[in-house]
Amino acid sequence: MESCLTKFGFSPEAEARRLNLMPQSEREAYLKQELATHELHVIRNHAVSLPYNYWLSDEGKIFTNKEHTVELELAEEERGGYYRIGIPKTLRLAKENPQQLVFFYSPIGPASFDDPPHPDYQKPYADGQLNVIYSDGDSIKNINIPLSQQGEQLWLKEVFGEEYLSYINKGGNEREKIIRFITTPKLSALTIDDFLNKNWHDPEMVVFHSNIFDKEKFFSINDIMGELRNSLLGKLKTKINVELIAQQAIKNGGSYVRPEDITEAYFTLMGSVMHQEGVDRLILHGGCGGSVVKSSDLFNYSNSVEKLMEVPNFSTTYRRQIQGSSVEDYKNDPNLCHCGQPHEPHFHCPGKNRTCHYPIIVGEGTKKCPACGLEAVCR
């Protein structure tokens, strides 16, 4: 059975975990960016991602927020865990050389080196991913550019240079070539402005092609540079109101974001794109792409953005909707547990065995234990 990451391009458990590690004030903006990336890069398959920011601690830990509370997750199961070597090395190079570009390439090929592959990495990566990284003195920015076979074979020669590629191709099988790519970033003398204004040998060469809503689309180097400028200038815009979807998902759970809230947010986004484009399926792209998602796959899991917007934002209902529940709503309830695990105030499922004695977080909004289906004691 396909995992949610393989089928839909997101992991509700991982995203909920990351969000719950963040200060509440940061969660909505973070989820909004994730949803925007999903629409632009995974669903609509734009040739360039939105810029992502990373922070590197003095101890070498990589964080995805400025407060250093959420560490970057790099899975051991993805290509043998070699990204755990290459990505920290890449970010250190960028931090030590402000404004200079660092190039990091994740090539086309198997996503797992295991046999059989891990469920999250069963599908090979059909597109390569060129990462353009630089430090602006505050954060380290990374923009992702997908490449098709031709882009990998031809454009990378200009980006990385012949000497670098000679090292990558010096021998061995496909696995060894992938390992060399993802453990060997390239420090460039270029700045981002230099890269945008570079005189490429063949600027009209197609380096990426995709199938968007059953229509073939081709991107030349010039197209890539245009999208890269738009991404950096904040002009790469979604067509769906991802801000509203993110707001609803974060507020639904109050102080605790559930995997179900994340699933509903992504399914709402995908359903809204289908409705807007008049299609009943999507072909997902990006690093985990390749799956076909049908409208029936999303049934009962999503609301359209139009449905969310039916509630006027001056109404009492709207204000109650976006507030979620809080500790104050339950502080006098005699069933409130004070055991301290987890840290958020919570009730327990009435089930007596270890599987069912499930902590139900105040503000989660659930009425039933997800393990056994019994009503929570707070009811």
Residues 105 and 194 in one domain: yes
Residues 40 and 172 in one domain: no
pLDDT at residue 316, rounded to an integer: 28
> pLDDT tens for residues 136-154?
988 999 999 989 999 999 9
The verdict on residue 211 lying in a domain is no
The verdict on residue 212 lying in a domain is no
In terms of residues, how long is the chain?
379
pLDDT at residue 330, rounded to an integer: 44
Helix, strand and coil content of the chain, in percent to the nearest 5, comes to 40, 15, 45
Residues 29 and 64 in one domain: no
The ranges of the chain with pLDDT < 50 are: 1, 289, 300, 302, 308-330, 340-344, 353-358, 362-367, 370, 378-379
Residues 92 and 171 in one domain: yes
* Cβ–Cβ < 8 Å for 144, 87: no
Residues 32 and 176 in one domain: no
The verdict on residue 222 lying in a domain is no
pTM of the model: 0.70
* Cβ–Cβ < 8 Å for 144, 130: yes
Pairing of strands 52-56, 359-361: unpaired
Residues 281 and 331 in one domain: no
The verdict on residue 228 lying in a domain is no
Residues 69 and 181 in one domain: yes
Residues 107 and 241 in one domain: no
The verdict on residue 271 lying in a domain is yes
**Residue 32 burial (CB count, 10 A):** 21
* Cβ–Cβ < 8 Å for 108, 149: yes
Domain range enclosing 264? 1-46+236-324
> pLDDT tens for residues 80-104?
999 999 999 999 999 999 999 999 9
Domain count of the fold of the chain: 3
Residues 76 and 146 in one domain: yes
Residues 104 and 191 in one domain: yes
Residues 276 and 296 in one domain: yes
